[in-house]
Amino acid sequence: MAEKPLVIIGNGEIAEMACEYFAYDSDRAVAAFAIGAEYIKDATLHERPVVALDQLATLYPPDSHDAFVAIGDGQLNRLRRRHVDAAKAQGYRLASYVSSRAFVWRNVEIGENCFILEHNVLQPFTQVGDNVTLWSGNHIGHRSVIEDDVFMSSHVVVSGFCRIGARSFVGVNAALAHQVQIGADNFIGMGAVITASTEPDGIYQGNPAERRTISAKRFCRVRE
Ligand SMILES: CC(C)(COP(=O)(O)OP(=O)(O)OC[C@H]1O[C@@H](n2cnc3c(N)ncnc32)[C@H](O)[C@@H]1OP(=O)(O)O)[C@@H](O)C(=O)NCCC(=O)NCCS
């Protein structure tokens, strides 16, 4: 049976990227975009309607449509999480996108609302939680676990047996040693070399990476 068409929640750059990837590299059709009424800029985007979120369930009901929340790392990934929870509360099933050009070993586990772009390598026994973005070209080493709501940018090397804590952001070209655990709510700077496990709510940068005095939640203007 064919997969249900999708509504994409969001209307920014990540939503436009998601529309491209789902439309041209999946068996999903993209029916529409949805966003809070106050954020609607144009009535259509890529020839598809942009509708207000409070109209979504009427116009594109969850019994005939699935959803994908295409929002970035705002507030250390909490904005995306809030929309995921709201869509689920309305009865939507959340799709994941995994590029046909990603390498995903047969026993890798991937949750819902994940966005896994080209040239990611997911080695045997890796686990990816829900609502995780892996932008292009990351290496996720064997047995590593990526917890829910993580946003990993590009060309990150995660060695084997690592764990990336929930809601963390990992910047471009970061490198993690074998068996390192990244605490929840971390912000790992671009090019950081993580040689040892990190504490929750920290910003780490440099080689070897050091913790900054400001908290990651404060830096990312998190509102709980
Ligand atoms: C770590 C980071 C958050 C710091 O941001 P910031 O506080 O605004 O940075 P600033 O430019 O004010 O620099 C503060 C200091 O940290 C240094 N610094 C900044 N980024 C650094 C990095 N990635 N590694 C090492 N040092 C860094 C600066 O040189 C500066 O040092 P100084 O005080 O001795 O002059 C940011 O540089 C970063 O890495 N962002 C992630 C980018 C990324 O990967 N984006 C992906 C998009 S999908």
102 with 177, same domain?
yes
For ligand 1, is residue 153 a contact (CB within 6 Å)?
Answer: yes
Instruction: Tabulate helix, strand, coil % of the chain (nearest 5).
Output: 20, 30, 50
Q: What is the pLDDT of residue 110?
A: 98
Which residue among 115, 150, 190, 204 is best mutated to probe the pocket of ligand 1, counting the most ligand atoms within 8 A of its Cβ?
A: 190
Indicate if ligand 1 lies below 6 Å from the C-beta of 193.
no
- What token pair was written down for 41? 């800029």
* Residue 91 included in any domain: no
Looking at the domain assignment, is residue 85 inside a domain? no
- Verify that 64 and 119 share a domain, yes or no: no
- With bands split at pLDDT 50, 70 and 90, how would you rate the model's confidence at 1? low
- In a domain, residue 88? The reply is no
Record the tokens describing residue 88, joined without a space: 């689920």
Q: What is the pTM of this model?
A: 0.97
Co-location of 206 and 126 in the same domain: yes
Looking at the structure, tell me whether residues 117 and 155 fall in a common domain: yes
Count how many domains the chain has: 2
Residue 70: what pLDDT?
A: 98
Question: For position 197, which CATH number holds?
Answer: 2.160.10.10
Q: Hey, is 59 helix, strand or coil? A: helix
The model's pLDDT over 54-80, given as tens digits with 9 standing for 90+, comes to 999 999 999 999 999 999 999 999 999
Claim to verify: residue 129 and residue 191 sit in the same structural domain: yes
Pocket test for ligand 1, best of 80, 205, 213, 215 (most atoms within 8 A of CB): 205
102 lies in the same domain as 187: yes
Residue range(s) defining the domain that contains residue 34: 6-70
Cross-strand pairs, 9: 34, 69
> Within a 13 Å sphere around the CA of 166, how many CA atoms are in the beta-carbon half?
7
Tens digits of per-residue pLDDT, 176-202? 999 999 999 999 999 999 999 999 999
CB of 205 closer than 6 A to ligand 1? yes
